[in-house]
C-alpha cells in the first residue's frame, strides 16, 4: 500500500478521500483539490457481486488517473462485510443498517489515514441524495476519536454537488450504477425493475 500522507505536506494539508464510486468522486475531488493534497482510497467491501466491486474500483482508478490523483485500492475478496452485518435488521436504504455499513468503511479509511499520517480523511458518500449527511459525519467523527488524523465533515451534495457529479460523470464517460452496492440494494433494484415492467404487481401503486 502506497501511503503518502506525510510526504505531501507543503502549503496544503493532506487528505485521504474514501471513494464510494467514480461518479461520486468527480465533483468531490475537484472541490477538495482546491484546499487539500488529495489521495483517493477505494474500500467498499459492501459491493456485491465481487465483479461489480472490481468494475467500480477500475472506474475509480481510471478517473483518478485522468484527474492526476493518486489512489489506494483495497478490493480484497475476503473482507468480512457480510459477516459483520449478519443478524442486523435490514431496513430501507438510509436506515440503521446503512449506518453500520458506513462505519465499516470509514473506520478503515481512518485507520489508513492514521497509518499514512494524513492530516484529514473524508468520504464521497454525502454526495448521494439517498444518504444522511448527519449520520455520515457523526460516524466519521466517531471513528476518528483518539487518532491524530481528523475527519473532514462536509455535505458534498450542497451547492448542486450531486448535479455536478452527474454532469462530470457524463463528461468523463463513467459507468453509473443503478444500485447502492450491497446484495439488498441489488434486490431492491431488481424489484423496482420488475414493478416497472409489470405495473399490475404489488407496490406499483406506491410509485404513482
Ligand atoms: S444500501 Fe448502500 S449504504 Fe446501505 S448497507 Fe447497502 S451498500 Fe451499504
Does residue 205 lie in a domain region? no
DSSP assignment of 30-53: HHHHTTSEEEEEE--TT-SSHHHH
Does residue 93 line the site of ligand 1, with CB under 6 A? yes
Q: Which three cell numbers stand for residue 74?
A: 483495497
Check pLDDT > 90 for residue 2: no
Q: Is the Cβ–Cβ distance between 68 and 177 less than 8 Å? A: no
DSSP character at residue 18: E
Which one of 101, 123, 124 would you pick to mutate in the ligand 1 pocket, going by the greatest count of ligand atoms within 8 A of its CB?
101
Does residue 117 lie in a domain region? yes
Task: Assign residue 110 a region (left: φ > 0; alpha: ψ between -120 and 50; beta: otherwise).
Answer: alpha
Does residue 128 lie in a domain region? yes
Query: What is the per-residue pLDDT for 81?
Result: 85
Confidence label for 10 from pLDDT (cuts 50, 70 and 90) = low
Coil, strand or helix at 15: strand
Does residue 187 lie in a domain region? no
| Closest C-alpha residue for ligand 1 atom 2 | 180
CATH number of the structural domain spanning residue 178:
3.40.50.620
Burial of 202: CB neighbours in 10 Å, binned 0-12, 13-18, 19+ = exposed
Distance 101 CA to ligand 1 centre (A): 6
Confidence label for 113 from pLDDT (cuts 50, 70 and 90) = very high
| Closest C-alpha residue for ligand 1 atom 1 | 93
DSSP character at residue 179: S
Distance 99 CA to ligand 1 centre (A): 8
For the chain, the domain total comes to: 1
Distance 102 CA to ligand 1 centre (A): 8
Check pLDDT > 90 for residue 5: no
Residues with Cβ < 8 Å from 55, sequence gap 6 or more?
175
**Average pLDDT value for the chain:** 89
Distance 153 CA to ligand 1 centre (A): 20
Rg (CA), the chain: 17
Q: Pick from 68, 144, 137: which is nearest to 113 by CA?
A: 144
Does residue 70 lie in a domain region? yes
Does residue 4 lie in a domain region? no
Does residue 69 lie in a domain region? yes
Q: What angle do CA 120, 121, 122 make, to 5 degrees?
A: 130
**pLDDT per residue over 121-160, tens digit each?**
999 999 999 899 999 999 999 999 999 999 999 999 999 9
The H-or-E segment that residue 73 falls in is: strand 70-73
- Count of C-beta atoms within a 10 Å radius of residue 31: 17
Does residue 198 lie in a domain region? no
Check pLDDT > 50 for residue 204: no
In this prediction, residues 187-208 reach a mean pLDDT of 69
Distance 182 CA to ligand 1 centre (A): 6
Q: Which three cell numbers stand for residue 104?
A: 465499516
Q: Which domain holds residue 171?
A: 14-182
86-100, 144-158, 187-201: segment of lowest average pLDDT: 86-100
Helical pair 22-33 and 50-67, crossing angle rounded to 10 deg: 30
Q: Which three cell numbers stand for residue 200?
A: 399490475
Does residue 181 line the site of ligand 1, with CB under 6 A? yes
| Closest C-alpha residue for ligand 1 atom 5 | 98
In this prediction, residues 56-67 reach a mean pLDDT of 98
Amino acid at each position: 500500500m502506497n501511503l503518502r500522507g506525510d510526504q505531501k505536506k507543503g502549503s496544503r494539508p493532506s487528505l485521504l478521500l474514501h471513494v464510494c464510486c467514480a461518479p461520486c468522486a468527480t465533483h468531490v475531488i475537484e472541490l477538495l483539490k482546491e484546499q487539500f493534497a488529495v489521495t483517493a482510497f477505494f474500500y467498499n467491501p459492501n459491493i456485491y457481486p465481487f465483479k461489480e466491486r472490481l468494475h467500480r474500483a477500475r472506474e475509480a482508478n481510471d478517473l483518478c488517473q485522468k484527474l492526476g490523483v493518486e489512489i489506494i485500492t483495497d478490493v480484497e475478496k475476503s473482507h468480512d462485510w457480510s459477516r459483520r452485518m449478519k443478524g442486523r435488521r435490514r431496513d430501507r436504504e438510509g436506515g440503521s443498517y446503512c449506518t453500520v455499513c458506513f462505519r465499516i468503511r470509514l473506520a478503515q479509511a481512518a485507520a489508513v489515514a492514521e497509518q499514512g499520517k494524513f492530516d484529514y480523511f473524508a468520504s464521497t458518500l454525502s454526495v448521494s441524495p439517498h444518504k444522511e449527511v448527519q449520520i455520515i459525519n457523526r460516524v466519521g467523527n466517531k471513528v476518528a476519536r483518539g487518532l491524530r488524523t481528523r475527519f473532514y465533515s462536509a455535505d458534498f451534495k450542497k451547492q448542486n454537488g450531486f448535479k455536478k457529479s452527474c454532469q462530470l460523470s457524463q463528461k468523463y464517460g463513467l459507468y453509473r450504477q443503478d444500485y447502492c452496492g450491497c446484495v439488498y440494494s441489488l434486490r431492491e433494484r431488481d424489484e423496482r425493475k420488475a414493478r416497472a415492467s409489470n405495473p399490475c404487481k404489488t407496490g406499483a401503486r406506491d410509485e404513482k
